[in-house]
Structure 1
């Protein structure tokens, strides 16, 4: 699965999952453009990759504006002569319930996650098409975008939108040999570190100890290192026929998320008027409501978080 000679951009790669993606791509031989809004963080990420024998350089800029997308792609061509892989990982959180969410809370998350993915992919795909040698677009989604999550209207909208765009891009870019996929990671991050349910897993990871099997196998919840190999695989020639997919990964688990499909159909001669809906909805499509949100099994006693 060598990526030797390939050039990658990973947005939001100064730390956390994004850094793990950049490190793995470099480990497999790709030259990597690292991106972060903080210069010191970006410089340390580059140094980390170089200490491991990889090749990397940084672009310090906020993801969202077209100017940043252009700067990232220009840097790939100016420093390494080409572009083969784009991983859109940059993101922010502004969590709060609907009735407390401000316009700024909503717009900030949508701008970085959704608009930032769009602007970066548009610029990268345009240059990949001109280059004429195919390419790989890998966009980072979330279980929240697939299932919804309390307090994350903005984040759910952005992540669901990213998967929708990926499906569209897989169609539009096929002729150019460019694949587009979404990865749905489930891993210890700054966000999950604040959730009491995951305390035992996050604590184990922080101490360099193996996560309990309850999390790794039962929930498919793991570390950044568990997610990164899928990024490298999708970036490789081995995944040339994989496109338009939403693939979950975490701990010991790999998942293929289904595309939305009708699960039940009902027909009424002449169409559905109000009376017909009132009479028949509950026993037709209303008889099979779809679940919402993530459902987690009870924690075993030994994995309960400490009481405050």
Structure 2
């Protein structure tokens, strides 16, 4: 009988998941923890991050919490300095933190535009920079940036600022993957379709119905379906994947 190792076992890995105090981030943190990683749960404030980490520990897995705003360079750099000092390394980074703002193009103010770009695109960039030196030194690292189907095909309902940010994440992923690959660092992205989280609760019933009508699967995605895709990309099963954006969208966009 041929014995094989579980290539998706993350035992002993240190993983940071941003925006993991709710929604998709919690699901990603849960899956990584269940596969053996120590998950550092981030949110903008400590309370939701602490609650999510406590829920993971109650299941017998390993987690801790940290608060910082991914759009604030000083906060990010200070937080990662502490994390690296406390844990010695970061093996996995999931840039998941994001915000929603379901508005049409004429409703996008410069302030709305800046906040959307800063949280999604700038936040992913800053966090990548914060872990890159340590990952290069250990010649190992897994980074997954959370984009969106909107970043590939444009958003049915408008949301040009969200779409631009998510498209930018795909470009960032490709560029960083080319730079980081020689150091043993895999950089990839996932592009979820509409997922049943608190974020979709902000959509009008009409907007949600229109979106679902364009999904081949005929339903919203479940957070755990997206989380398992992210977990695959940070596993050894994905060791030869660099710069890809994995679509997990129920068939709403096929490329």
- Measured against the shorter chain, the TM-score band is 0.7 to 0.9
Using the TM superposition, give the Cα deviation of residue 219 of structure 1 relative to its aligned residue in structure 2, in angstroms.
4.3
Is the contact between residue 59 and residue 75 of structure 1 (CA under 8 Å) also seen in structure 2?
A: no
Is the contact between residue 215 and residue 252 of structure 2 (CA under 8 Å) also seen in structure 1?
A: no
> How many residues get paired?
243
Q: Which has the higher contact order (CA 8 A, sep 6+)?
A: 2
Equivalent-residue separation in structure 2 for 1:84 and 1:127 (angstroms):
9
- In the alignment, structure 1 residue 196 sits paired with structure 2 residue 205: yes
After TM superposition, the score normalised by the length of structure 2 is 0.87
Q: Secondary structure at the match of 1:115?
A: helix
Deviations along 1:89-142, one digit per CA (max 9) or x if unpaired, are 11112332222221111101111101000000111122211223x111100011
Alpha-carbon spacing, 1:218–1:235, altered in 2? closer, same or farther (3 Å): same
Q: Secondary structure at the match of 1:56?
A: strand
- In the alignment, structure 1 residue 164 sits paired with structure 2 residue 171: yes
After TM superposition, the score normalised by the length of structure 1 is 0.73
Counterpart for residue 153 of structure 2: 147
Counterpart for residue 11 of structure 1: 18
Is the contact between residue 18 and residue 90 of structure 1 (CA under 8 Å) also seen in structure 2?
A: yes
Unmatched segments (≥5 aa) in structure 1 = 203-213, 259-308
Is the contact between residue 173 and residue 243 of structure 2 (CA under 8 Å) also seen in structure 1?
A: yes
Equivalent-residue separation in structure 2 for 1:169 and 1:66 (angstroms):
19
Using the TM superposition, give the Cα deviation of residue 64 of structure 1 relative to its aligned residue in structure 2, in angstroms.
1.3
- In the alignment, structure 1 residue 126 sits paired with structure 2 residue 125: no
Equivalent in 46, 57, 67 of residue 50 of structure 1: 57
Kindly report which structure 2 residues correspond to 1:103-118, keeping only aligned pairs within 5 A, or say none: 103-118=110-125
Using the TM superposition, give the Cα deviation of residue 60 of structure 1 relative to its aligned residue in structure 2, in angstroms.
0.9
Runs of 4+ in 1 over 3 A off after TM superposition: 214-217
- In the alignment, structure 1 residue 137 sits paired with structure 2 residue 147: no
Q: Secondary structure at the match of 1:13?
A: coil
Counterpart for residue 280 of structure 1: none
